[in-house]
Structure 1
Amino acid sequence: MSGYRVSIKRNLHFVDGNNNEIGGAWQNGALTWSEMVEWMEITFEKPTNEYAPFRCLEPGDPVQLLAQHGPAIEIQGNNNPVKPGFYIILSPEGEVVDLRINRQNPMPRPSSRVSSAELDNHTKHFRNRVRARDGRCVITWCKASWE
């Protein structure tokens, strides 16, 4: 039986030794293991040398992931894309590891890849309210002068 799963739609799932989902993302082909390790360093409290992802070999949502997983994936300096699917996080030797989630993660903010001219009125209004409230860049916190 599957453990806890988040309700967010993802195609990349990380589960712990109890089969509870502890992280994930939507992989569109651009995310590499080198980038993923940066996310893991922020998300998990343990140093990255104390755990490793193992690809689950069961099709779909895994049930017996402790018995059916591939070898540990070397994530440091690995520029290969992360393949969509399920991964179990274990010790590098393949043992269950207590992996605590960092409780101080910042709230994610929606990103926009369109120019200001292409924004709809609702999005422009939201952007303008955030700018008026903060008066600074939400990423760098530098004082900003808007166009």
Structure 2
Amino acid sequence: MRYWLIKSEPDVFSYEDLEKAPKKTTCWDSVRNSSARNFMRDGMKKGDLAFYYHSNADPSAIVGICEIVREGYPDPTSWDPSHDYFDPKSDPDMPTWYMVDVKAVKAFRTPVPLQQVKDDPALADMALVKVGRLSVVPVTPDEWAHVCALGGV
């Protein structure tokens, strides 16, 4: 099993929205960064776990855990001209963009704010800190255990 961190702005789709989704599950679509796409297409496997991170929030924080319940598959929003993340260069026969399905597992009792992550020496090399702009990043097993303890799960 591998561990990940996925980001969403809470006013777009919050962890609470995920918990309210049918079967607490949704597709994780509209990612338009090739590195994040590669993680979803090639790295994420069914059963992997991911931190759910609220970005552009006050404060930005890791707020829960979700599970990858469907491995990477083509993201049809890239072919939909009415969608905000339409990509005219994407081709259904040779998809450019991928998505995964995620399911809510557990909300943190105590959200872990970005500043706390940045200030914690045990998390100094975490991709959330080092590669802050990606919407999907890997998390090491040690980082996973440490953040889970901080979040009370």
Q: Normalising by structure 1, what TM-score? A: 0.29
Q: Relative CO higher for 1 or 2, CA cutoff 8 Å, sep ≥ 6?
A: 2
Structure (1 or 2) with the greater strand fraction? 2
Larger Rg: 1
